[in-house]
Amino acid sequence: MSSLDNKVSFQINGRQVRWEGDPVRALADVLREDLELTGTKIGCRTGECGACTVLIDGQPVNSCLIPAAAAADAEIETIEHLQDQPVFQRLVEAMAQTGGVQCGFCTPGIMVTLWAWLQDRTLFGGDVTSALKNNLCRCTGYRSIISAVEQVVEAEVSGR
């Protein structure tokens, strides 16, 4: 294979990135190892835990299952990019208040999923519990995470 075949261009966190390497390498590894975006965690590599969730064109996906080449020309957003968004900030505050984070390993993936759901509540049939169906958390038992999201939604409805 010529080296030309191994070039992929992504849009990552608003930045155009040209990347060269094995096109079937998992996107999660490319993000973590080559681009040093280690907020995306790897818990299982089999698409079960959701720790590696990133947004591709606004949709949450498991980046451990996506070959780098499959994300070519797409818009990829990782947890590192979401920080500045006001809704994300509100979610951070709510999660801290409800105890939605303990060990924190599942947390970035969960935050990406929740943020996506808050952007578009039709995404998972409208219900935050089903939105979390692709994310595992061993510490919190999920209820505090769900209340955090409810807090954000309520604050929005009441215009605070």
Partner 1 sequence: METKRKSPLDFTSKLTGQTRYIHDMNLPGQLVAGIVRSPHAHARIVRLDVSRAKEVAGVKAVLTAADVPDFAYGPTRFKDWNIFARDRVLFVGDEVAAIAAESAEALERALALVEVEYEVLPAVFSASDALNDSAPLLHEETAQNRPMHIRIARGDFEEGKKKAHVVCGGHYETNRIYQGHLEPIAVLANWSEEEGLTLWAGSHIPYRARETYAAGLGLPEDRVRIVVPPIGGSFGAKYVLKVHMVAAVLTMETKRPVKIVLDRFEDMLTAHPRVPLSIDIEIGADKEGNFVYKDVVVHGDAGARIYWSPNVIATACSRPDNIYRFQSVRAEGHLCYTNNSPTTCMRGFGNAEMLFAVESVIDDVANALGMDPAELRLRNIVREGETTIHGYKLDTCQLEACIRKAKELSGWDRRDKLPPNRGLGMALANHVSGYSGIDLRFEGSTAVARLKSTGEIEIETGEIELGQGMTSTYAKIAAQALQIDESLVTVKSGDTSKHPFGIGTLASRATVIGGNAVLLASKQLAERVAALIKDQLGAEAVYADGAVEHGGKRYSLQDIAAWHRARHAGDELSVKATYRPDTELPDASFYGHPSPNYPFAAHVAEVEVDPETGRTKVVGYWAVHDSGTILNRTMAKSQVVGAVAQGIGWVLMEDLVVREGQVRNPSMMDYRMPGATDIPPVEIDFIEVPDPNGPLGAKSLGEVALDPVPGAIGNAIAHAARARGTLLPLSAEKVWRMMQDKA
Q: Considering beta carbons, is residue 6 or 65 the nearer one to ligand FES?
A: 65
Q: Considering beta carbons, is residue 52 or 82 the nearer one to ligand FES?
A: 52
The window from 13-21, 39-47, 118-126, 151-159 that contacts ligand FES (CB under 6 A) reads 39-47
Residue 106 sits in the site that holds ligand FES (CB under 6 A) = yes
Q: Which of partner 1, ligand FES, none binds 8 (CB below 5-8 Å, type-dependent)?
A: none
Q: Which residue has the tokens 């995470």?
A: 145
Q: What percentage of the chain's residues is helix, strand, coil (to nearest 5)?
A: 40, 15, 40
Centre a 10 Å sphere on the Cβ of residue 63 and count the other Cβ atoms it contains.
Answer: 29
Structure tokens that stand for 82 in this block: 């979401």
Looking at 59, 103, 141, 150, which residue binds ligand FES (CB under 6 A)?
103
Centre a 10 Å sphere on the Cβ of residue 123 and count the other Cβ atoms it contains.
Answer: 16
Looking at 64, 128, 132, 146, which residue binds ligand FES (CB under 6 A)?
64
User: At a CB cut-off of 8 Å and minimum separation 6, what does 144 contact?
Assistant: 95, 98, 99, 100
Q: Considering beta carbons, is residue 47 or 72 the nearer one to partner 1?
A: 47
Structure tokens that stand for 42 in this block: 């790897």
**Cα 108 to Cα 114: distance, rounded to the nearest angstrom:** 10
Looking at 52, 54, 55, 95, which residue binds ligand FES (CB under 6 A)?
52
The window from 80-88, 90-98, 101-109, 111-119 that contacts ligand FES (CB under 6 A) reads 101-109
